[in-house]
Structure 1
Amino acid sequence: MPDKVHIAAGTIVTYKAKGASTTAVTLNEVETLGNISQRRNEVTATPLASDTVRYIGGLKDGQTMDITCFFLGDDTSQTGLKALYDSNSTVEITVQPLPGTGSQFRFDYTLLGHDIMHGTGNDPAKRMFTGRIASDVITEANART
């Protein structure tokens, strides 16, 4: 059986305002993407007649995720996402690996933070967007062919 493990090189991240009919914008110079994760909270569901506590899984809850880019001050993909952050927006994010390496992931992402990290004398400046996954994470066929 061929090895299905692959590195993330070649992955692109796109975004567009939630509900927008416009074409998604490729976010340039993404260095790292946090975990695409959801969790269910623990819910106590114990009837009065029970002598032991019963738990069930609650609603899916998207987790916080950072997207870190190498800082490009005049890049329209980065400044566009910053403008959506400034307007308190939710965006639709799509993470697309290289063709043939796996499925893509799509989800809503509520923008919660924006940071500029200046770096050091030997490190490039970076821009970090912080947000929270605000929908189900949809796994679908990779649109990059």
Structure 2
Amino acid sequence: MRLVIQRVSRAAVEVEGEIVGAIDEPGLLILVGATHDDTPAVARKLAEKAWSLRIMPGERSASDLGAPILVVSQFTLYADTRKGRRPSWNAAAPRPISEPLVDEFAAALRELGAAVQTGVFGAEMEVSLINSGPVTILLDSAD
């Protein structure tokens, strides 16, 4: 599983011109991609890590501040661009595997106490954000 975590002042995700998820205060925008061998346990472990990372102002975590989180699925985090100009998506898990894992990730954050908003899995989404810092962190379960 791969996460791109951005500390934001605010963020929103739209589908067909309608805002489906938004945070209007400092928090985290987390883009989530899943691969074939990911499991619910991996999703929970990464949720715990993201929630406790000390990347908020004052070296505090989202959990310390009760900061909101916007979770957006993004299979393109597993793009393979080593050959040619057209990315391969073979490493990205198909929807029957990845959708439940993204849901598990968001659910684990909620169980930890996070206020979580989400995008719409598989939809064409427009994500807007104001990156604070800027702070952008890549987490990969393979590391």
Q: Normalised by the size of structure 2, how large is the TM-score?
A: 0.26
Bigger relative contact order (CA 8 A; separation at least 6): 2
Structure (1 or 2) with the greater helix fraction: 2
Q: Normalised by the size of structure 1, how large is the TM-score?
A: 0.26
Structure (1 or 2) with the greater strand fraction: 1
